[in-house]
Amino acid sequence: MSEQQTAQQLISQLNNQELSSRELVQQCLDRITSVDDSVKAFLEVNSESALQQADAIDQKRSAGESVGPLTGIPIAIKDNICVEGWKTSCSSKMLENFTSVYDAHVIENLKSAGAVLIGRVNLDEFAMGSSCENSAFQKTANPWNTDCAPGGSSGGSAAAVAAGMVPLSIGSDTGGSIRQPAAFCGVVGMKPTYGRVSRYGLVAFASSLDQIGPFAKNVSDAALLLESLWGHDRRDSTSVDIPAPSLVNQIDQPLAGLKVGIVSEHYSDGLDDEVHQAIQSAKETYQAQGAEIHEVELPHAKCGVAAYYIIAPSEASSNLSRYDGIHYGHRASSEEKMSLEDLYERSRGEGFGPEVKRRIMLGAYALSSGYYDAYYLKALKVRRLIAEDYQKAFEKVDVILSPTSPSPAFKLGELVDDPLQMYLNDIYTIGANLAGIPGISIPAGLSSQGLPIGIQLLAPVYEEEKLLRAARMYEKEHEHSLAVPSL
C-alpha cells in the first residue's frame, strides 16, 4: 500500500483481484512495524486476528460471494469504542484490564461492511484532552514532526492514517476531538450531526456531546466510511431514525449557488497568520467556483469555551462516578483493612490521571448544591443561545467556513502545564458539539514549518451530504490531501 493510496483505490484493486486482502493487511502491519516506534499511535495491534479476517475475506471473494463496501480494508479503532474480545482501556489505568464483552454499534456496522479491524489506537485518557499526552500508557507524536503533538483526543486515530499505517480509522468528537487532530495531522476528520451515529458501545465522556466519526485521507473516503458508520440504533435513545442519504454517489457533484459564511469573530488576536491566510485562500477558491461569500454573526461564540468546560466536565463527573473500585474498573490493593470511603478514594486516585481528575472536580463543583443554577444551568442556557445563533446563520448561508484550530500543531509538552491554553485549542470546534451540527476538517496546505493546516466547514443538522460536497469542491481544486509526511 502506497502512503498516498486512498481507501477507494484499494477497494478497486481488491475487487479487481489485483491485490488480496491478506497482502493489504500485511502491508499495513509492515508499515506499523516500520514507523510506529516513533509515532506510537497503536496501543495494540491484533496481527493474527487481522490476517485471519483477511483470509476469510479472500475466500469469500474467490467463491464469488457478495461483499460489503469496505471489504478487506484495514481500519484502526479508537480505544474508547468497544470491540468484543478486545481490551477497551480508554488509555486509562482505571480500565487497563477491561475486556469488552460486546461490539459497539459502529463495530457491528464495520464488520457487516467487511472492514478488517487491525488494532486499537491511543487517545487522551477518557477522551479528555487536545494533544494525546494525557494517555496513561504512551504519548503519540505527530507524523509530520515527532516533536509535535498530533492533537486530541483522537490523536492516535489521526496519526495512524497520516503515517500511512491504515487507510481509515474512527474516533470520537466531544469538543473537536476528531477535527482538531485531523487538522494537526493533515487528514480529513468529520463529526456527524449528534444522533446520526449510535453511541452504543462508546465509553461515555459527555453524553450530550459525544459523537463517533471517520478519519480518512480525503473527503470521498470519509464519506465512504461514514456511510458504514451511521444508521438508527434502538439501543441508543439519542439515535435519530431518519433516512441516511447516499454520500459517495453525490460527493463529486458541486453545489450550485453555494453560499459560504464567514464569522468575523473568528479572526481576532490568537489566530496564527498562516491559518488566516489559508482561510483567505479557501474563500478565493470557493468564489472562483461561483460561490457567494457572506458575513454571518455568531454573537455567543465567545461564550462557547466557558459553557463547554462546565457542561462537559459536569457530564463527565456523572459518567465517571461508576468507576469506584467496587462495581468495576481498577481497585486499589492493600494488605490493611480499608473503609469503603478509603477504597473509593484510593481506587479513583490510582486509576485516574491528572486531567481526568481536574475535569471530575470541575464538574462535581458545577453540579453541587448552591452552584448548579449559577454554573450548570446557566451554561445550558448559553448552549441554547449558541445553537440559535447557528440556526439564524444557516438561514443566510449553506455552510460556515472557519479555522479548525488557532494554529498548526504545537510542541509536545508545550501546553501541559497551561490547561487554559490547551482548552483554547478547541475554540473553533466546540460550537458544533454544543449545537449538535456536523463539521469537517480538511487539509489546507502546510505552514512555513512544514506542519499541516486544517480548515473547517460546518453545516446545519442532518446536512452531511451538503457538507461533504462543499468540502469536496475545495479539495478538487488543490492537492493538499496528497501530501504525506516523510517519516
Give the model's pLDDT for residue 328: 82
Supply the DSSP symbol for 280: H
Is it the case that residue 323 has pLDDT exceeding 70?
yes
DSSP 3-state of 23 = helix
Q: Which range among 149-158, 207-216, 320-329, 435-444 shows the weakest confidence by mean pLDDT?
A: 320-329
d(CA 180, CA 215): 11
| Residue 449 CB coordination number (10 Å) | 11
Asked, for residue 387, whether it belongs to a domain, the answer is no
Rg over alpha carbons for the chain, rounded to the nearest Å, is 21
Kindly state the helix (H) or strand (E) to which residue 434 belongs, with its residue range.
Answer: helix 430-435
Give the model's pLDDT for residue 56: 96
Mean pLDDT over each residue of the chain, to the nearest integer: 96
Asked, for residue 475, whether it belongs to a domain, the answer is yes
Range of the domain at 69: 7-257+440-482
Tell me the per-residue pLDDT of 124-154, one tens digit each, with 9 for 90 and over.
Answer: 999 999 999 999 999 999 999 999 999 999 9
Give the model's pLDDT for residue 270: 85
Is it the case that residue 335 has pLDDT exceeding 70?
no
Asked, for residue 307, whether it belongs to a domain, the answer is no
Task: Say if CB 293 and CB 283 are below 8 A apart.
Answer: yes
Is it the case that residue 212 has pLDDT exceeding 90?
yes
| Residue 297 CB coordination number (10 Å) | 14
Instruction: State mean pLDDT over 255-280.
Output: 93
Is it the case that residue 457 has pLDDT exceeding 80?
yes
Closest to 167 (Cα-Cα) out of 128, 220, 241, 95? 220
Q: Which range among 1-10, 43-52, 79-88, 226-235 shows the weakest confidence by mean pLDDT?
A: 1-10
Task: Say if CB 199 and CB 208 are below 8 A apart.
Answer: no
Residues in contact with 64: Cβ distance below 8 Å, sequence separation at least 6, in sequence order = none
Give the model's pLDDT for residue 66: 86
Kindly state the helix (H) or strand (E) to which residue 444 belongs, with its residue range.
Answer: strand 439-446
d(CA 311, CA 326): 27
d(CA 395, CA 385): 16
Give the model's pLDDT for residue 470: 98
Cα 450 to the chain's mean position, in Å?
23
Q: What percent of the chain stands above pLDDT 90?
A: 90
Q: Helices 219-229 & 105-113, crossing angle to 10 degrees?
A: 110
Is it the case that residue 334 has pLDDT exceeding 90?
no
H helices of 354-482, in order, are: 354-367, 378-393, 419-423, 430-435, 464-476
Asked, for residue 41, whether it belongs to a domain, the answer is yes
Task: Say if CB 145 and CB 451 are below 8 A apart.
Answer: yes
Give the model's pLDDT for residue 195: 98
- Tally of domains in the chain: 1
Q: Which range among 1-5, 150-154, 176-180 shows the weakest confidence by mean pLDDT?
A: 1-5
Name the band, by pLDDT with cuts 50, 70 and 90, for residue 173: very high
Task: Please give the grid coordinates belonging to residue 404.
Answer: 479548525
Is it the case that residue 4 has pLDDT exceeding 80?
no
DSSP strand pairing (292-296 vs 259-263): parallel
Name the band, by pLDDT with cuts 50, 70 and 90, for residue 161: very high
Instruction: State mean pLDDT over 70-79.
Output: 98
Task: Please give the grid coordinates belonging to residue 86.
Answer: 478486545
d(CA 219, CA 471): 7
Give the model's pLDDT for residue 449: 97
Virtual CA dihedral for 153, 154, 156, 160, nearest 10 degrees? -150
Give the residue numbers annotated as catalytic, written as ranges: 78, 153, 177
Tell me the per-residue pLDDT of 349-373, one tens digit each, with 9 for 90 and over.
Answer: 999 999 999 999 999 999 998 899 9
Give buried/exposed letters for 245-259 (b at 16+ CB in 10 A, else e): eebbeebeeebeebb
Task: Please give the grid coordinates belonging to residue 352.
Answer: 485516574
φ, ψ at 128 (rounded to 5°): -105, 95
Q: Domain of 51: which CATH number? A: 3.90.1300.10
Tell me the per-residue pLDDT of 11-37, one tens digit each, with 9 for 90 and over.
Answer: 999 999 999 999 999 999 999 999 999
Instruction: State mean pLDDT over 411-417.
Output: 92
Is it the case that residue 436 has pLDDT exceeding 90?
yes
Asked, for residue 149, whether it belongs to a domain, the answer is yes
Indicate if the alpha-carbon torsion angle 438, 442, 448, 451 is positive or negative.
Answer: positive
Tell me the per-residue pLDDT of 241-252, one tens digit each, with 9 for 90 and over.
Answer: 999 999 999 999
Task: Please give the grid coordinates belonging to residue 278.
Answer: 489559508
**Direct distance between the N- and C-terminal alpha carbons of the chain, in angstroms, rounded to an integer:** 16
Is it the case that residue 419 has pLDDT exceeding 90?
no
> Whole-prediction pTM value?
0.96
Beta bridge partners of 142: 145
Is it the case that residue 219 has pLDDT exceeding 90?
yes
Name the band, by pLDDT with cuts 50, 70 and 90, for residue 268: confident
Closest to 178 (Cα-Cα) out of 211, 227, 149, 145? 211
Phi-psi region of 119 (alpha: psi -120 to 50; beta: other; left: phi over 0): left
d(CA 127, CA 148): 19
